[in-house]
Amino acid sequence: MRAAVFEAPGRPLVVADVDAPQPEPTDLLVKVKSCGICGTDLHLSAVTDRSGGMAPLSRGAIMGHEFCGEVVEVGCHAPGDWHEGDRICALPYIACGRCLDCLAGRGHRCQSVQFGGMGKLGGAYADYVRVGGAEALALPNGVDYRRGALVEPLAVGLHAVRAANLRPGDAALIVGGGPIGLAVALWCRFFGARHVVVSDLLSGRLGKAAAMGATNGIDASKENVIGRYKQIAGRRPDVVFDCVGVPGSQQLAMDYAPLNGRLIVAGVCMRPDNVMPVKAITKELSVRYVYMYERRDFELTLEMLDTGRIDGSAMITDVVGFEAFSAAFEGLKTPSDQCKILLEPEHP
């Protein structure tokens, strides 16, 4: 099969002919229909040591964890009622399926979890991918393959917004209009926030934010963010989301928050960061870090996509086949108006 293979840190991925994955008896073999490029993969492909908390990839690794596809083989002991031809997406890991974390839908905390696209378990920048029967979720008829590839990033946003305990009419500020920020904007609007304001240094991202549900955008390269926010909402935001995840972004979010405000840290910063805790202390901020999602986040996302209550496709800025994939991946390393690029192996 074809796959975009990792060679060495910082080097472009190489599309090569490799062996298809061998599913275990509890697995499904899935023909990949669509797979999004994630910022985590961009970061992972540059990791050279463990200092940032992530292990470097080994040569030959295949990334890609935001995918959906069609079942082509069902393991003889695969849990669930799966059949060839079923359309699915999946939690991007294979876990034991029996421990308390697995049963609670938090298989990423399982002692025996293997993350797809991070190490030995290959990801979906490939024609075929291995999926655990317990980790697969059916794509309802109303969810096409493009939206199916958005379930994972939308679930990241849902999990972050769930942690914010939004109340109807709340004012939210989302710092960073990349894929996570846009997914957070979508769910803030869905759950009844009145002001859903996205700030970004790249003004080109603000239009997409509006299409995802943001009520306003702030061009942080030109405008004073909190000054403009107060003009829009008449007050500081009740909830601030850090969806940037670079050194300094948490401090900014603390500065923007009001007394007793809520701060959700959803951007994944993998470098040391300096913050001035007294800012958060004197405001008595509630700071909450969030990571990944739970199975229920996938389930609600799928149901809301199926019924048309959310869409999310505004975050897709390009769709490529294998031929253009490596260049598209490299291009995302420079911040631009590109947001979510999907790999579709059957793309002409």
Residues at the contact surface with Zn ion, assessed by CB under 5 A: 38, 66, 95-96, 99, 102, 110
- Is the CB of 135 or the CB of 170 nearer to Zn ion? 135
- Is the CB of 74 or the CB of 110 nearer to Zn ion? 110
Interior CA angle at 282 toward 281 and 284, to 5°? 60
Nearest to 123 by CA among 53, 48, 37: 37
- Name the minimum Å distance from CB 248 to Zn ion: 23
- Is the CB of 1 or the CB of 96 nearer to Zn ion? 96
Q: In angstroms, rounded to a whole number, what is the distance separating the alpha carbons of residues 233 and 223?
A: 15
Q: In angstroms, rounded to a whole number, what is the distance separating the alpha carbons of residues 111 and 339?
A: 33
Interior CA angle at 198 toward 245 and 207, to 5°? 115
Place of tokens 């099969």: 1
- Name the minimum Å distance from CB 30 to Zn ion: 17
- Residues linked to residue 83 through DSSP beta bridges, in sequence order: none
Dihedral angle, C-alpha 56, 62, 64, 65, nearest 10 °: -80
- Name the minimum Å distance from CB 165 to Zn ion: 24
- Name the minimum Å distance from CB 48 to Zn ion: 21
Q: In angstroms, rounded to a whole number, what is the distance separating the alpha carbons of residues 17 and 253?
A: 45
Distance set, CA 304 to CA 63, 162, 298, 312 (Å): 27, 15, 10, 10
Greatest Cα-to-Cα distance within the chain, rounded to the nearest angstrom: 61
- Is the CB of 32 or the CB of 280 nearer to Zn ion? 32
- Is the CB of 286 or the CB of 338 nearer to Zn ion? 338
Nearest to 38 by CA among 340, 346, 282: 340
- Is the CB of 146 or the CB of 262 nearer to Zn ion? 146
- Name the minimum Å distance from CB 307 to Zn ion: 24
- Name the minimum Å distance from CB 95 to Zn ion: 4
- Name the minimum Å distance from CB 180 to Zn ion: 9
Q: In angstroms, rounded to a whole number, what is the distance separating the alpha carbons of residues 12 and 27?
A: 30
- Is the CB of 228 or the CB of 340 nearer to Zn ion? 340
- Is the CB of 102 or the CB of 226 nearer to Zn ion? 102
Q: In one letter, which amino acid is 348?
A: P
Q: In angstroms, rounded to a whole number, what is the distance separating the alpha carbons of residues 162 and 30?
A: 30
- Name the minimum Å distance from CB 183 to Zn ion: 10
- Name the minimum Å distance from CB 114 to Zn ion: 11
- Is the CB of 98 or the CB of 235 nearer to Zn ion? 98
Question: Exposure string (b/e) for 122-133, b if CB count within 10 Å is 16 or more?
Answer: bbbbbbbbbbbb
